[in-house]
Amino acid sequence: MPPVPSAWADRWLAWRNRLVASPRFQRWAAGFPLTRGIARRNTRALFDLCAGFVYAQVLAACIRLDLFAILAEGPATVAALARRLELPPENARRLLRAAESLGLLRGLSGDRFGLADLGAALVGNPGIAAMVEHHALLYADLADPVSLLRGNVQPTRLSTYWPYAAGQTGDAQSVAPYGGLMGASQALIAEDVLDVCDLARVRHLMDVGGGEGAFLEAVARRHAGPRLTLFDLPPVAERAADRLARVGLEGRISCRGGDFHNGLPTGADAISLVRIVHDHDDGPALAMLKAAHAALPPGGLLLLAEPMAGTPGAAPVGDAYFGFYLLAMGSGRPRRAEELHAMLRAAGFASSRELPTRRPLLTRVIRAKKQAP
Ligand SMILES: C[S@@+](CC[C@H](N)C(=O)[O-])C[C@H]1O[C@@H](n2cnc3c(N)ncnc32)[C@H](O)[C@@H]1O
């Protein structure tokens, strides 16, 4: 039951907000020893909110210039980096210092720079670079966020990047960019998902909306047992089959083209939906869960993995980032775990529970079961 609004609580909040809004109070709080720490943290948090786009573009510049790969070879002087990046030395230094301030690089003796923790982490995750590159489309759609919220940005750039969001199947050419992006970023999450999913008793797993097969490839490398089927839109399933053949898995994973809005093939005793449900509005998402329920045998298993709204410690990832990303894409919304449990029950699943993952910010996992016979 939602909490009952209390007049006292509302009045207290209004008083507190008037106080915090007052420039005199802000000045006092920034100097008073007991409130100084809080005031500085809030000032910084507010500044970070204002400056987020600039920070993101510093990162984009580093990625476009291949700076992290260059420094993965070892630290380099500002002069050498300026030559290699083809930047005027003063601007190379400006970029390097900006990246240092953001925890990406580390300034070293002898006017050199090397990787700091965040820069080093980026070298091992090419998916992040791909994500940052395609953000140019998202930022163009967000240039006037109020127009976007009012539905006046049509068509959005992201809706052409993700043709299925506008109900289109796409062709080999139009699905290639998102297929590549999903494949590159899947490495970040497949292992976290598989760490918590017990597939020991699964005979046949079908990954619905499986993209170019990166998730099933990770399953195949871990589990020799289950038969594996990828289901995605026909042009995506074709690309998946080609890619999986190139990595020697054509005999292990079969690829089926189709549209899950028209139902799902039967035969699998487990279905995975990795980063799928959040892409769809409530009606189609519930229909898809019902289709998964209908396709499973009694006792069958559904694994739903995606970033969720309201994740403790990562609320802006779901509610702000994915909330606005999916708005620009034109379909779907981030959902709270409780909402997904309710949808799974409405789709007919007898039980569902969350399996705690290592990095819930990237993905959380819900395991649901169809009533056993
Ligand atoms: C966000 S991507 C996720 C891909 C993959 N599961 C992953 O996590 O990397 C969504 C996938 O759902 C597929 N898809 C979207 N609509 C579909 C539909 N109606 N039928 C089948 N697949 C669909 C897309 O082609 C895409 O591969």
Give 76-111 pLDDT, tens digit per residue. 999 999 999 999 999 999 999 999 999 999 999 999
Interval 214-254: pLDDT, tens: 999 999 999 998 999 999 999 999 999 999 999 999 999 99
> Measured in angstroms, how far is the CA atom of residue 331 from the centroid of ligand 1?
13
Largest Cα separation within the chain, whole Å, is 72
Q: Is the CB of 209 under 6 A from ligand 1?
A: yes
**Tokens for 164?**
């299925």
Q: Is the CB of 217 under 6 A from ligand 1?
A: no
Task: Quote the pLDDT of residue 28.
Answer: 87
Interval 167-176: pLDDT, tens: 999 999 999 9
Query: Which amino acid would we find at residue 8?
Result: W
Task: Quote the pLDDT of residue 127.
Answer: 87
Q: 105-108 and 112-115 as β-strands: parallel, antiparallel, unpaired?
A: antiparallel
Please choose from 162, 178, 276 the residue to mutate so as to test ligand 1's pocket, defined by most ligand atoms within 8 A of CB: 276
Q: Is the CB of 322 under 6 A from ligand 1?
A: no
> Measured in angstroms, how far is the CA atom of residue 179 from the centroid of ligand 1?
9
Please choose from 279, 289, 365 the residue to mutate so as to test ligand 1's pocket, defined by most ligand atoms within 8 A of CB: 279
Percent of the chain surpassing pLDDT 90: 84
Query: What is the dihedral angle through the alpha carbons of 271, 306, 133, 164, rounded to the nearest 10 degrees?
Result: 50
pTM: 0.91
Q: 270-274 and 204-208 as β-strands: parallel, antiparallel, unpaired?
A: parallel
Burial of 287 (C-beta count, 10 Å sphere; 0-12/13-18/19+): middle
Task: Quote the pLDDT of residue 38.
Answer: 87
Task: Quote the pLDDT of residue 3.
Answer: 66
Closest listed residue to residue 336, CA positions, set 356, 364, 362, 358:
364
- Distance CA(175)–CA(113), nearest Å, equals 39
Q: Which atom of ligand 1 is nearest to the CA of 305?
A: 8
Query: For domain 139-369, which CATH number applies: 3.30.450.150, 3.30.565.10, 3.40.50.150, 3.40.50.620?
Result: 3.40.50.150
Q: Is the CB of 142 under 6 A from ligand 1?
A: no
- CATH 1.10.10.10 for domain 51-124: yes
Place of tokens 């034109």: 330
Decide: 269 and 296 in contact? Cβ < 8 Å: yes
- Distance CA(179)–CA(210), nearest Å, equals 10
Q: Which atom of ligand 1 is nearest to the CA of 259?
A: 20
**Is the predicted pLDDT of residue 5 greater than 80, yes or no?**
no
pLDDT higher for 95 or 43?
95
Decide: 230 and 216 in contact? Cβ < 8 Å: yes
> Measured in angstroms, how far is the CA atom of residue 238 from the centroid of ligand 1?
13
Please choose from 233, 243, 274, 306 the residue to mutate so as to test ligand 1's pocket, defined by most ligand atoms within 8 A of CB: 233
**Is the predicted pLDDT of residue 276 greater than 90, yes or no?**
yes
| Spans of all domains in the chain | 51-124, 139-369
The protein residue whose alpha carbon is closest to atom 14 in ligand 1 is 209
Residue 2 — pLDDT band, cuts 50, 70, 90?
A: low
Burial of 4 (C-beta count, 10 Å sphere; 0-12/13-18/19+): exposed
Residue 1 — pLDDT band, cuts 50, 70, 90?
A: low
